[in-house]
Amino acid sequence: MTDPARSPVISSHADRSTMESFAFGFSCGLCGKEWQGARYDFNPGNLVLPIQPAIFQLLWNEQHRAAFDRASLEASFEFNRCPLCGRWVCKACFYLSGSGISDICTDCLSRIKGNGDWRRLNHP
């Protein structure tokens, strides 16, 4: 069962970790462009190599979770959540109105413009 406290901010992500390092990519919910987070090296600490497999796996799993949490936090500054459709989108796919009231993804913006509701976005 997934721990909700550890769920990623951006649900579309790829794990690019190896046994030596941890890396994660997060994708825009609209254009699909991927943002790559920082790479973090696995650190076995002061343990003498080679490490017993069970101990190695325990250390690796703990550091993997911590690296994912850091990468997810970093990604939260690179994406915006559209209040209308709920998608996490990159900065290029997000419309900032300047007022903060109608900040939405460009997909929702184009649908609203097509419906003639555009004026209500900037003048509540």
The pLDDT tens digits for 73-116 are: 999 899 999 999 999 999 999 988 776 667 899 999 888 877 65
DSSP label at 31? Answer: T
104 belongs to a structural domain: yes
Alpha-carbon distance 120 to 124, whole Å? Answer: 6
Same domain for 14 and 45, yes or no, is yes
This prediction's pTM: 0.73
CA distances from 101 to 25, 36, 93, 108, 121 (A): 30, 29, 17, 14, 8
Q: Are residues 44 and 96 in the same domain?
A: no
58, 62, 63, 69 alpha-carbon torsion, rounded to 10°: 160
Question: Do 69 and 97 have their domain in common?
Answer: no
Domain span at residue 111 reads: 92-122
The verdict on 116 and 69 lying in the same domain is: no
Kindly state the percentage of the chain with pLDDT values over 70.
79
Is residue 102 a part of any domain in this protein?
yes
Would you say 21 and 41 are in contact if contact means Cβ atoms under 8 Å apart? yes
